[in-house]
Amino acid sequence: MTLAGFLTYALALGVAAAIPGPGVVALVARALGSGFGAAMAFSIGLILGDLTYLAAAIFGLSLIAEALGTAFVVVRYGAALYLAYLALRLWRAAGAGTRVEGEARDGPWTSFVAGLTITLGNPKTIAFYLAILPTLVDLSGVTASDVVALVVLTAAILLAVMTPYAALAARARESLRRPAVRARLNRCAAAIMAGAAFWTVLRRS
């Protein structure tokens, strides 16, 4: 790949990642509900999901992905159900009048799995890597070193885009100390998470 090819890919990915979708919305809700650490674990899951589709595109698995369209629908609905479950937990924690840290005890692994499943079921991610990417990059001419560069570039761009979202949401959360305010914040995070669940089901492209 040429430098121009890498720059084109980086710009397209950066724009696509920065536009709020189910992943970004769920990331913000995770940061509001559980803090920066959980949000970053969630981000790692998001990135791994993107890298999965990047590998599928590079190694010519797009036809297989199309053949398994039903399986991708199942993954999308599974991700939506998981988001709805997290939204319910956040709402119930707020109803109990406790801190918004109810989700934090789930640990980073739960956040990581949530990020991964949401990305795997996100139609925007699928469309970018299996439909848009082949128009940006000549996948037939990608070498082993190009693959490594694309993986590193993808992870770096997504991390650079997601970290500010997580940091700002977590900072807003930590600045609010009163239990009543925290309860309202938890309910807002739950509403955002529920909205992301609906978006994941309804959005198809």
Q: What is the pLDDT of residues 18-73, one digit of tens each?
A: 877 778 878 888 887 778 888 899 999 999 999 998 988 888 765 555 555 555 56
Kindly state the DSSP code that residue 99 receives in the 8-state scheme: -
Residue type, 146: D
Q: State the pLDDT at residue 118.
A: 83
SS3 132: helix
List Cα–Cα distances, 54 to 22, 74, 105, 123, in angstroms.
19, 20, 32, 14
Q: For residues 182 and 100, what is the distance between their CA atoms, to the nearest angstrom? A: 6
Percent of the chain at pLDDT exceeding 70: 62
pLDDT band at 139 (very low <50, low <70, confident <90, very high): confident
Do 115 and 45 form a contact (C-beta atoms < 8 A)? yes
pLDDT at residue 82, as a whole number: 64
pLDDT score for 21 = 73
The whole-number pLDDT of residue 86 equals 63
